[in-house]
Structure 1
């Protein structure tokens, strides 16, 4: 049925994207895998700097991010500048062959600025001033703050723009960490201007927000409000809140671009980046847009779970980063050598995980491995955050792992991994930042929806089924894939629905999740039955029509907490057991099959289904559409049940000659013009036996080579890399 052939092309984004440029190292040819981390020499007396550099050389560090939080040291008072310390450390690092990724230093402002101009402080939704003393205690829409920040940027560019040891610019730091939502008067005026640009007329805005509900119609843009606190039980207009999310993204992106452009006017020939915050517990910006404005894509990733979930989550986050990078290498700007200090319980990493996690990022397309931070702080809010040099010093297991990692990255660079690109899958799981924002609304049938977590669950299920999916932003071009999956893509515009229909009509496979396509880009509910996206086009593709949602909740006395699935009426005998006994615990669609050729692959069954009047109704369906097909997964399923569904109906062909036969192993391939590099990483706690592996071994970390050619034993947290 499929007519797509060959490997999918790299997803594409806007034609106005900044050109790709990778920061050079201070090696003879400027190449190598970048290795280092955030370095904060201003936290330490200068007597320790030489020892820092000695240890950096010992570990193989070749780059550091410098001056991220140093505005107060660079500009101690409004009329005094102090670059001497920064000159000295850049010079010391450079002479040791360590490149500087120089920050714009605007992540924190000096206290004198807040004292003189308290109006630059943001406000929370209750109207409370967000006080200074942490990071990003400033309003991105404050013209006063922007003037000071851009003056700093120009001063840095004038002083270091031609410095050969400064090879990249690191703008800000984790934009939106503390000021993603600003409810100040500056923000109100900026939001009104943003709405004026977007809608043109107040009538268009009233239509988009549906302001006739609850009598919210506005007569002019001067009446537009930001969604400040409206009472403990009040629900915010969802269209207004969604636009405020978009505005928050845009105002910070505009601030980043202003900083970047201020430096670029003086120093245009060095690449720019800023560190995203992409993990499956956070993705606060629409980074698909941000990726267009950097020369190379960077990310801060911190692990959240142990066991198999740890590696799977890392790979899932990295898969999205690889798409943001459009297949080009990308930069791990921060991760942790061991425990962090900002969770209620902070687990350390086990033996080998520091190296394994770093090499896993490389396996997923990264050409730079950096940590927060170089030396563990002796004071401050992050003093118990792990670092490359721990409190116990260099004679530690942790620092020895750091040194082993540096040597391993050098080995990979020498073998030619740098610049190679991650081989793509045939399947794309589509990610939408706006759908993630929308699932947080308090106006939905359930407040337990989470688009990003559902993306992660599908990603893990594909791994369990012996395949690996890519994760691609919905707004990018994914038309060259064979299969696209939409997990809880709550929001679908008419344009995107047409893209899906055209994709299926041309021979593609579309898999639609249970809470997908319910609202349009203005948070208006599509009418005529669920899922109504595209004025019913999505329903036509699927051959079903939903009337209601059945929402379950745990702990409701006398009510079922789960509903089982049984085999559908038109399933081949060999597939009948695939979803028989699968369980749904949150959301079930009450649907009628409307397509003449729609197959019911699974239905609700049993006493619990009968209790909710769902017994015998379709739960999972398949419908031919044009030359392709469309699946509807009408209820939430856990990873194990999604795995069964994928194995039975969505199994992708082998992704490479070295197909991932062992589902206990994460297997990726990076390719260059003259070589392919296979990475094998056990997903669980047990060692893994590999047979028939082709190629010459490059890295055997916690791995033994067997007696037979191509056989290896990869222990827990081990890594095998071979070159073909």
Structure 2
């Protein structure tokens, strides 16, 4: 097979990145990447979290020896070491940290030094139990795990910032510390806090956002259920109100926004405390983006880091590689296609999932190289040495319990050699080539689809983004996942899956994009309401009804109800699940592509009702997908309407391979990764092969790629 390049064109000169923050005064920090301790400071970073304080000091020299052998050139240090640095309120101990940083640095291993605030020492909780978060039902989140603290607690902030300043003073001139790692996975255990501290700050947040109490009452629709508030002092948190209660959805959405904002403000306070003393080194914090989580408004957060970092843990099974690529694509969107930093992933099994599958058949190397293919210039694991005790002792690591003589460590060394090869070839600093399609993601839409007062509680914006991403891969083309607030004007097509709440500003951007010749796909639950959870009147999809060229009056929710069909067929052969809109009229400019038909459609009084519609709008067009389609039907839709001329002929071949291109102004790097278990043969590949993992030349200028293979080539432009 010959893989078709379906991506858009190439590198242009970089201008300052546009802010992705949600506020009108958003400003984006300049991109700064941490240097390595190489001669020129460059290269793909390789390493992981290192916790030497979990081990006797006589182990440290062996750790450094084995790191050097594996090609490790960076570690994240002291992430959970607050109690070692400050054993009591009045004592401080940096000596042990000085010794290990010196050992690492002398071996050429750079240190990404943590602020160490993710897990506070128990003496702090004993003295100040008022810093502990409160659950929605009033229960206290007790100490003993990570992040058992309120981001709104002034007491905790005072202790945390004191630690930050002392670390900055002590290490500001240390040449081996090349970056600052703030906290760790903000929101992992304190994303929602219902304490009085949180209530106080939520009221202040609401006052800053709305200015007047009348504006808040209008936004929250407090005329319903006698919820009118007379002043910001009466604003409440959405605490537990009874087993059968329903939270005001406008209030709930603002509480989600507030939670992301207040944790970001805590991050910024830590960052600023260190930067005031040590301004010359870049700052980051590790996001948590995979298709089963994206808990913060990371588009907003991305403005305030110097380089975007992410922790990603694989999804076992058929979609292992596809899910990784989808998650990475969104991270690349937050980074605006600049290189980003994989702060954590696993060499094999974790210990915190219901089913903890191990990696096999070369997946350790394949996954790492896949992250590089999607734009990462750092490949780091949790963690270096597998813990002997504690909650994560069965979480895999670069150096497992079995030690140096183990398959995992040998593969870690193999990967280190490959990353050196890629560094020498010039991959570091190149950017992923943009595709032709942007699938839009927005934190507000993700939070809103969790609302329990929607027509269906099975909606999930992020999962629908994922399903569309898979559908494009199945059709033999690759899409990008792009934040709604980013610039997507250069894409040929944008897809809007389950973007249930949209501002008028966002809708005007869509109108202008389509009017100027763009193509938009509007999902079945997109544009139903504005950003305050006020439904758009006049028929669905109210916010974008003019662009879609349709008017629907009701939602037909499908599911396992005794005596009723739980699916509905379409004239195209597709099957609608979960949700089917009752479209009662289409614009004169619109063409119906498929209707509901069959016995099940008749039972639901949907026979002949439009399900898929194309509408001309300005110089562009809109496709309206009025029902929830499965992955196969979405793939057929992409092949039939979105993939471009000739797509049907190449799809069967191209769909077997995940193909990405990273490039500079002078060089292209092509990455080829088989998506399935079967061998894939490439008839020809451009350029010089620099990595052929689990690949064999076939004698005709091509390669056979085995399961979990990675083939990387370099071509001079």
Both structures adopt the same fold (TM-score exceeding 0.5): yes
Check whether the contact 1:467–1:660 (CA below 8 A) recurs between aligned residues: no
Q: Please give the residue correspondences for 1:180-579 in structure 2 after superposition, counting only pairs within 5 Å.
A: 180-307=191-318, 309-533=319-543, 538-554=544-560, 556-566=561-571
- Any conservation in 2 of the 1:513–1:634 contact (CA below 8 Å)? yes
Offset at residue 511 of structure 1 (A): 0.5
Deviation of residue 5 (structure 1)?
Answer: 9.2
- How far residue 7 of structure 1 moved from its aligned partner, in angstroms, is 6.1
Among candidates 136, 152, 160, match of residue 149 of structure 1: 160
Using the TM superposition, name which of 343-352 and 140-149 deviates more.
343-352
Cα–Cα, structure 1 residues 247 and 344, in superposed 2: closer, same or farther, change >3 Å? Answer: same
Cα distance in 1, alignment partners of residues 266 and 121 from structure 2: 18
Distance 1:8 1:529, change over 3 A: farther
Residues 248-277 of structure 1, C-alpha deviation per residue, up to 9 Å, x if partnerless? 000000000000000000000000000000
- 1:715 to 2:706 alignment: yes
1:698 to 1:458, Cα distance in 2 relative to 1, 3 A: same
Corresponding residue for 2:106?
Answer: 95
Q: Are the equivalent residues in 2 in contact too, given 1:37–1:372 (CA < 8 A)?
A: yes
Q: Distance in 2 between matches of 1:407 and 1:441?
A: 48
- Tell me if the contact between 2:104 and 2:110 (Cα under 8 Å) persists in the aligned partners: yes
Which digits, 9 at most, give the CA deviation of each residue in 1:474-502, with x for residues without a partner? 01111111100000011111111111011
* From 668, 689, 696, the counterpart of 2:688: 696
Q: Which one of the candidate residues 618, 625, 633 is aligned to 1:626?
A: 618
CA displacement 1:668-712 (0-9 Å, x = unmatched): 000012210000000001111001211110000000112112x00
Does 1:604 find its partner at 2:596? yes
For residues 579 and 528 of structure 2, the distance between their equivalents in structure 1, rounded to whole angstroms, comes to 14
Cα distance in 2 for residues equivalent to 1:540 and 1:99: 55
SS of the aligned residue for 2:299 comes to helix
Q: Distance in 1 between matches of 2:29 and 2:604?
A: 53
Deviations 1:304-359 (A, max 9, x none): 2312x110000000001111111110000000000000011100011200000000
Q: Which residue in 2 is equivalent to 1:681?
A: 673
Which secondary structure does the structure 2 equivalent of 1:158 belong to?
helix
Matched, 1:69 2:75: no
The structural deviation recorded for 1:156 is 0.3
Distance of aligned partners of 1:659 and 1:31 in 2 relative to their CA distance in 1, 3 Å threshold: farther
Distance 2:254 2:75 in 1: 38
Aligned to 2:72, what secondary structure does the other structure show? Answer: coil
1:135-165 residue CA offsets vs partner (Å, 9 max, x unmatched): 0000000001000000000000000011000
Q: 1:58 to 1:244 in 2, by over 3 A?
A: same
Matched, 1:669 2:680: no
CA distance in 1, matches of 2:667, 2:652: 19
Given that 1:688 and 1:715 are in contact with CA atoms closer than 8 Å, whether structure 2 keeps it comes out as yes
CA distance in 1, matches of 2:692, 2:220: 57
Q: Are the equivalent residues in 1 in contact too, given 2:9–2:433 (CA < 8 A)?
A: no
- C-alpha displacement at 1:654, in angstroms? 9.4
- Distance in 2, matches of 1:8 and 1:695, equals 18
Q: Which runs of 5+ in 2 are unaligned?
A: 1-6, 21-25
Contact 2:477 2:654 in 1 (8 A): no
Q: 1:510-541, CA deviations, whole angstroms, 9 ceiling, x for partnerless residues? A: 100000001111111111101111xxxx1111
1:30-49 map, 5 Å: 30-49=41-60
Does the 8 Å CA contact 2:11/2:663 hold for their aligned counterparts?
no
The residue that corresponds to 1:107 in the other structure is 118
SS of 1:477 mapped into structure 2: coil
Q: Structure 1 residue 172 and structure 2 residue 183: aligned?
A: yes
Report if aligned partners of 1:426, 1:652 keep a CA contact under 8 Å in 2.
no
Are the counterparts in 1 of residues 11 and 433 from structure 2 also a CA contact under 8 Å? no
TM-fit CA distance, 1:639: 1.0
- Which residue of structure 2 aligns with residue 571 of structure 1? none
- Point out where structure 1 has 5 or more consecutive residues left out of the alignment: 567-579
CA contact (8 A) 1:654 1:660 kept: no
Residue 209 to residue 599, structure 1, CA distance change in 2 (3 Å): same
What do residues 394-439 of structure 1 show as CA deviations (whole Å, max 9, x unaligned)? 1111111100000000001101101000000111000011100000
Deviation, structure 1 residue 660:
10
Root mean square deviation, CA, Å: 1.6
The CA distance in 2 between the partners of 1:61 and 1:6, in whole Å, is 35
Instruction: Tell me the CA shift for residue 662 of structure 1.
Output: 2.0
| Residue 31 of structure 2: aligned partner | 20
Note if contact 2:475-2:651 (Cα within 8 Å) is conserved in structure 1: no
* Conserved? CA contact 1:427–1:652, under 8 Å: no
What is the SS of the residue equivalent to 1:636?
Answer: strand
The range that moved more, 469-478 or 186-195, is 469-478
TM-score by length of 2: 0.96
Instruction: Compute the displacement of 1:8 (Å).
Output: 9.7
Whole-angstrom CA distance in 1 between matches of 2:201 and 2:403: 49
Look up the SS of the partner of 1:670 in the other structure. Answer: strand
Structure 1 residue 61: deviation in Å?
0.3
SS of the equivalent of 1:443 reads coil
1:443 Cα offset (Å): 0.3
CA distance in 1, matches of 2:257, 2:11: 30
Counterpart mapping for 1:582-597 below 5 A: 582-597=574-589
CA distance in 2, matches of 1:671, 1:249: 34
Supply the distance in 2 between the matched residues of 1:113 and 1:172 (Cα, whole angstroms): 17
- TM-score, with structure 1 as normaliser: 0.95
Contact 2:475 2:652 in 1 (8 A): no
